[in-house]
């Protein structure tokens, strides 16, 4: 069985392997022992602490194959970004130039450095190992975060965002960053991305262009990738769009990938998830072909997985097997949160 749970200190080696496999552009997991250990410790603390309003918490979960004990994926949520360091984006806008004297009107796209998403919750650190990219595993790993948002809304910002990986080649070279490197930063994309992942962002404030950037003055290769997603990221973007996320003209400052957003309470899986009372039986009475993401309502002991259940629109309770109850750390009479795949 594949079960999602909060990360533990003992998962360090697995997280390091995932960081290596994730490759270029996966800013949230740089290959750095100290940083990865810090992320685990921060997540453990976040799951354990009492929270009245979101701050600098980060919730990191892993997907475990309970048959082998192997960690095969990870996903996370930042409670409220930009609380301890600047959270940069470019905002894509338009300036209009008109002269009645010469009868000319031009609209020019612009990029403005901003911190507009400060305080938003962020979906991040989604990675599923190659051998497990099949069936509904990817949807489970991605959408399970909405179960946390639904169960513990007070822990997260009212707006939820997700940064989509932008266009880069197999060597990690980004057409958009190429312009930035040549004229401003002077370091390789992989180095800038790595420093950003470490939280060492002072160089951005010191070296990024301070004035509005006119898109028409960028190289054509850089212009073409603004707001475009990496091929490997398209399935993730499609899933988020189905949940109600939309692009509001904000892009990553390095690879120009789009950042999508949705109000926390408007996310489809948050709105549609339900709480049902658990009945534990040796074998559910009827077979069912409908798959659900199912999760307990605990925090530090959060557990979630996939299950086929008999649930109707009128259901207030649900029969589950003792095996599923054990995996989810549930007892009879406790609530179970469900969302149909």
pLDDT of residue 26: 67
pLDDT of residue 186: 81
DSSP label of 25: T
Q: Which residue has the tokens 């999602």?
A: 4
Residues labelled as active-site residues: 230
44-94: pLDDT as tens digits: 999 999 998 999 999 999 999 999 999 999 999 999 999 888 889 999 999
Contacts 24+ apart (CB under 8 A), 47-52: 47/6, 47/299, 47/300, 47/302, 48/300, 51/79, 51/154, 51/155, 52/154
Section 125-141 average pLDDT: 93
Domains of the chain: 2-89+115-269 (3.40.630.30), 273-340 (2.40.40.20)
DSSP label of 141: H
Provide the whole-model pTM: 0.91
Helix then strand count (H, E) for the chain reads: 10, 15
259 Cβ neighbours under 8 A, 6+ residues apart = 89, 117, 161, 162, 163, 164, 247, 250, 251, 252
Distance CA 25, CA 27 (A): 6
Section 267-292 average pLDDT: 86
Pairing of strands 58-65, 2-6: antiparallel
List the beta bridge partners of residue 124: 76
Give the end-to-end CA distance of the chain in Å, rounded to a whole number.
Answer: 17
Distance CA 55, CA 120 (A): 10
pLDDT of residue 60: 98
Given a cut of 80, whether residue 287 has pLDDT beyond it is: no
Token pair, residue 111, equals 């990029």
Distance CA 156, CA 81 (A): 10
pLDDT band of residue 222 (cuts 50, 70, 90) is: very high
190 Cβ neighbours under 8 A, 6+ residues apart = 24, 172
List the beta bridge partners of residue 128: 73
Residue 6: CB atoms within 10 Å: 22
Given a cut of 80, whether residue 284 has pLDDT beyond it is: no
- Return left, alpha or beta for 25; rule: phi > 0 is left, psi -120 to 50 is alpha, else beta: left
Q: Which residue has the tokens 């490197």?
A: 181
């Amino acid at each position: 069985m594949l079960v999602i749970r909060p990360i533990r200190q003992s998962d360090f080696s697995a997280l390091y392997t995932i960081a290596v496999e994730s490759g270029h552009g996966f800013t949230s997991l740089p290959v750095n022992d100290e940083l990865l250990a810090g992320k685990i410790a921060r997540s453990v603390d976040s799951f354990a602490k009492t929270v009245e309003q979101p701050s600098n918490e980060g919730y990191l979960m892993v997907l475990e194959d309970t048959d082998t004990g192997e960690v095969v994926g990870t996903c996370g949520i930042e409670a409220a970004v930009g609380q301890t360091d600047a959270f940069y984006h470019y905002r894509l806008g338009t300036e209009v130039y008109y002269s009645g004297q010469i009868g000319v009107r031009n609209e020019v796209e612009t990029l403005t450095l901003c911190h507009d998403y400060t305080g938003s919750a962020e979906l991040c650190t989604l990675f599923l190992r190659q051998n497990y990219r099949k069936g509904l595993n990817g949807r489970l790993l991605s959408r399970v975060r909405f179960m946390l948002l639904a169960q513990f809304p007070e822990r997260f910002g009212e707006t939820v965002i997700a940064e989509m990986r932008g266009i880069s080649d197999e060597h990690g070279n980004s057409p958009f960053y190429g312009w930035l490197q040549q004229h401003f930063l002077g370091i390789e994309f992989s180095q800038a991305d790595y420093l950003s992942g470490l939280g060492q962002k002072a160089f951005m404030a010191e070296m990024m262009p301070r004035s509005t950037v006119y898109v028409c003055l960028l190289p054509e290769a850089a212009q073409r990738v603004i707001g475009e997603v990496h091929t490997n990221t398209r399935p993730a973007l499609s899933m988020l769009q189905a949940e109600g996320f939309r692009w509001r003209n904000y892009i990553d400052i390095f690879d120009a990938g789009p950042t999508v957003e949705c109000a926390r309470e408007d996310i489809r899986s948050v709105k549609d998830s339900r709480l049902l009372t658990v009945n534990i039986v040796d074998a559910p009475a009827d077979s069912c072909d409908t798959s659900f993401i199912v999760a307990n309502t605990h925090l530090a002991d959060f557990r979630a997985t996939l299950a086929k259940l008999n649930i109707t629109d009128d259901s207030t309770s649900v029969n589950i097997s003792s095996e599923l109850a054990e995996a989810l750390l549930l007892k009879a009479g406790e609530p179970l949160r469900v969302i149909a795949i």
